[in-house]
Structure 1
Amino acid sequence: MLLRRGILWLTLCLPLYGETVAGRWHAAVKTPSGEEAYFDLEVNHSGGEWQGMLINGRDRNVSSAGSFDGRKLRLEFNYWDGRLEADFENGELRGAFTRQSRKQVLARPFRARRTPLVSPASAPSVDAGGEWILDVGEGGGKEMWLASFEQDGARLQGVLIPVSGDYGMHTGFVDGNRILLTHFDGIRATILDARISDGRLVGTLKGSVSAMVTGRRPDKAGRQELNSSSLTTMKNPREAFRFSYPDLEGRVVSSTDARFRGKAVVVSISGSWCPNCHDEAVVLRMLYDRYHAKGLEIVALGFEYTGEKERDLRQLRLFAEKYKLPYPVLLAGTTENAQQTLGQLRNFRVYPTTLFIGKDGLVRRIHAGFEGPSTGARYAALQQEMTQWVESLLAE
């Protein structure tokens, strides 16, 4: 009898010891439109530490800290200035993912359970896999994006690629002639809901960007090009690009400093809140490690959300520490004043925007956006191009 009571007590108290919160969850956050962006959440408990991962296909965003008290799961994503808090009850998680967004805190309702939250109602009747050219928006605001999808039966995954760089790996399914792809990485919550008929894609993009979408297959095979290297230009190409901002220790670093004189310089206009900037930082560090001894200098100009100096510096420090960046990271301002601060640039629109500067201080190339690991071959090709651009600067 005592043994039975002990087993019953242990069963009732399992949630208090966190036994059932660990493992894989099917999760969703609500977008401003009220629709849900689906992803997976992996919760791990090892060595007394709790950790969570936001999973979108091959993409992983790992928490910086976590806790579970038997009722509430807390996961910190300090590099996004965000956190997930959810109550564990009746085998489900419900709460919110909150993060700092410019001057306000953005809260996205969150839920998760062990079984899928959404699934196709019918077998696929179209082949969505392969390359697409998307027209996003209408009228004068229309932009050309690229997309690349992989289909395996009803399962579908792929990337959306505007000029700013990719939106990360999206996952979903094909339901008849409908495709549903969603993504949430702690920053971007995106939903592509469309139908394919006669080789044309028509639907909506909702979430971080909301717009009508039409799509077509490329006219030619091979890598499709965006206007990444022509979007942003110097207003006066004969004028040296100038900067002078404090680093993370408060020391002012200027383009006229001796360390930059007569050197090839790469300037990344960046932000700790920008997923594509995180992807680029990995490549910039590789370039610095390989070419610094040969005369390459790199500097990141960080434009942050809040305008609260200590908070913005904290986020840039976390960014620099996460990738062990050996080059200066400067607090250049906020996203609100970036256009004014970067008055030498024409049509500055996306993060990151990267300047490749010759030994004479003049800008040789400006590349807008960054296509990260989710884009596969495009990521590899961009790394190769950036390497070539640096080598050409050093050869001057």
Structure 2
Amino acid sequence: MKSIFTLILAIFSSSFCLAQVPTSGPWRGELDHFGGKLPFNFIVGAQASKTKVDIRIQNGSEIATQGDAYFRGDSIVVPFELYDSELIGHVKDSKTLIGFWQKKRNGKLLFRIPFQAKAGSKDRFENLSPSKINLTGKYAADFWSDENNHSPGVMLLNQKGNEVTGTVLKTSGDYRFLQGNVSGDSLLLSYFDGSGIMQFRSKLIGNQIEGLHFAGLAGKRNFTAIKDDKASLPDLKKLTYLKPGFDRINFSLPNPAGKIISLLDDRYQNKVVVIELMGSWCPNCLDESRYLSPFYKKMKDQGVEVIGLAFEYSPELSISGPKIENFKKRLGVDYEILFAGQPNDETIAQVLPMLHKINGYPTTFILDKTGKVREIHTGFSGPGTGVYYTDWIHEFEQTIQNLLNEK
């Protein structure tokens, strides 16, 4: 009888075994990525409570969190709530974390990738050779998986010692905050934010950087980058357009509570209206919405309205609605974000039949006070792009002001 009681007590106790508290300060982790060990950095703050700990992911100058990390049994969970993913790690000791990063979609597990992390290091890549090159500058980049599938971009790099930060601008948006190192004549970059994972492994050969770009679970492309101060993207205001015979759009869609909202509602009449095609799962949309939220609060009394059209992975409002609400709450969004369906060509054609097509998320429409579409901008250059971001803000706000001044 005593042995059974002891066994029950042991099982009960183990189920409530708490994780050790991780050491505060910088940590360095590695994901077991198919392109090689993918390094990422995070910072552990002071323990917020008996059940929570402050953990923030770092990519370049961005140090961010999407939810409170918490203890679960003998593990720590770092949630990325907007992206339906989480890091789950067992604290082997206060300076070692071993576990996996997993991502879900509509409640079902998509994948799980092992990771390991150790406290004390601010390094990105390790075992580096002294830097032989300085790669600071702007580059005309080209990505391809085969000769019939080329994709241009603009790469921006800033090197200090052997540490490198930067991004890549594409027509669909930017690669946000890349971070890495130069080792000898090699350039190594990585990125992890709970949504996307990518890394660059390349070398300077002659006058160009050559190597491989790995993204997601299986994306692998060749890439080259040649320094070019005049490198640029195509005109992002001409990539997305309305079909012939149309100069305005219309829609009637539900908000997360199920209320049908139309562009013809009184709220949007005689206003300059900004419409953002986006998704709560999209990091570039997060960047744009993070800007639009305070912009709207500043401008709504001057005759400006904003509407988000959220294309979500689940076709069910009962599933996608709470994701949109969580997105609004985290960013402090006061304007309507409507559920538009799933992010595919068929759904977009149903919701906006007057639109030729879209080329990426986000895509932003600016309507004048009569409801006419005056501008359509593909993609978004976020804060990781530096001057491209500030230039976009200046041009966007000038356009809005010009339309407000029209009689």
**TM-score (norm: length of structure 1):** 0.89
CA shift for structure 1 position 34: 4.9
Mapped pair 1:43 → 2:15: no
The AA in structure 1 aligned to 2:361 is Y
Partner of 1:3: none
Partner of 2:58: 55
Partner of 2:336: 328
8 Å contact kept, 1:82–1:100: yes
Aligned with residue 96 of structure 2, among 92, 97, 114: 92
The AA in structure 2 aligned to 1:340 is A
8 Å contact kept, 1:357–1:363: yes
1:257-303 CA distances to partner (integer Å, 9 max, x unpaired)? 12222221110001111111111112212331232212111100001
Mapped pair 1:154 → 2:162: yes
Mapped pair 1:113 → 2:118: yes
Partner of 1:340: 349
Aligned with residue 377 of structure 2, among 340, 347, 367: 367
CA shift for structure 1 position 165: 1.9
Mapped pair 1:30 → 2:41: no
CA shift for structure 1 position 145: 0.8
The AA in structure 2 aligned to 1:109 is P
1:294-333 CA distances to partner (integer Å, 9 max, x unpaired)? 2111100001112232221111111111111111010110
Aligned with residue 184 of structure 1, among 192, 197, 218: 192
CA shift for structure 1 position 27: 0.9
The AA in structure 2 aligned to 1:36 is K
Q: Hey, what's the Cα distance between the residues in 2 that align with 1:120 and 1:281?
A: 39
The AA in structure 1 aligned to 2:342 is T
Q: Hey, what's the Cα distance between the residues in 2 that align with 1:67 and 1:43?
A: 12
The AA in structure 2 aligned to 1:380 is T
Aligned with residue 83 of structure 2, among 80, 84, 95: 80
8 Å contact kept, 1:203–1:214: yes
Q: Hey, what's the Cα distance between the residues in 1 that align with 2:245 and 2:331?
A: 32
Give SS of 2:173's match: coil
Q: Hey, what's the Cα distance between the residues in 2 that align with 1:117 and 1:366?
A: 38
Mapped pair 1:129 → 2:132: no
Q: Hey, what's the Cα distance between the residues in 2 that align with 1:200 and 1:240?
A: 45
Q: Hey, what's the Cα distance between the residues in 2 that align with 1:379 and 1:324?
A: 21
Give SS of 1:123's match: coil
Change (3 A) 1:16 1:239: closer
Partner of 2:14: none
Q: Hey, what's the Cα distance between the residues in 2 that align with 1:20 and 1:374?
A: 30
8 Å contact kept, 1:120–1:173: no
CA shift for structure 1 position 20: 3.7
Give SS of 2:204's match: strand
CA shift for structure 1 position 160: 1.6
Change (3 A) 1:314 1:106: farther
Q: Hey, what's the Cα distance between the residues in 2 that align with 1:34 and 1:125?
A: 24
CA shift for structure 1 position 104: 5.3
Give SS of 2:329's match: helix
| Stretch of structure 1 that moved more, 146-155 or 75-84 | 75-84
Aligned with residue 268 of structure 2, among 255, 260, 263: 260
1:85-134 CA distances to partner (integer Å, 9 max, x unpaired)? 11121542121222234775232322211355742442222221111110
1:137-176 CA distances to partner (integer Å, 9 max, x unpaired)? 1434212111111111211111122122221211111111
1:194-224 CA distances to partner (integer Å, 9 max, x unpaired)? 111222111111013531111111153xx83
Q: Hey, what's the Cα distance between the residues in 1 that align with 2:72 and 2:262?
A: 49
CA shift for structure 1 position 381: 0.8
CA shift for structure 1 position 230: 1.4
8 Å contact kept, 2:19–2:74: no
CA shift for structure 1 position 177: 1.2
1:214-241 CA distances to partner (integer Å, 9 max, x unpaired)? 1111153xx8344321111111363421
Mapped pair 1:291 → 2:299: yes
Q: Hey, what's the Cα distance between the residues in 2 that align with 1:372 and 1:357?
A: 22
Structure 2 unmatched ranges of 5 or more: 1-16
Mapped pair 1:351 → 2:361: yes
Q: How does 1:243-282 map to 2 (within 5 A)?
A: 243-282=251-290
1:47-92 CA distances to partner (integer Å, 9 max, x unpaired)? 4331211111211231412223673111222122222111121542
Fraction of identical pairs, as percent:
27
Change (3 A) 1:287 1:17: closer
CA shift for structure 1 position 369: 0.9
Partner of 2:7: none
Aligned with residue 324 of structure 2, among 298, 302, 316: 316
Q: Hey, what's the Cα distance between the residues in 2 that align with 1:111 and 1:87?
A: 10
Q: Hey, what's the Cα distance between the residues in 1 that align with 2:242 and 2:109?
A: 33
Give SS of 1:46's match: coil
Structure 1 unmatched ranges of 5 or more: 1-14
Aligned with residue 217 of structure 1, among 227, 232, 251: 227
8 Å contact kept, 1:18–1:70: no
The alignment of Structure 1 onto Structure 2 pairs a total of residues equal to: 379
Q: Hey, what's the Cα distance between the residues in 1 that align with 2:404 and 2:32?
A: 48
The AA in structure 2 aligned to 1:26 is R
Change (3 A) 1:373 1:303: same
CA shift for structure 1 position 349: 2.1
8 Å contact kept, 1:244–1:254: yes
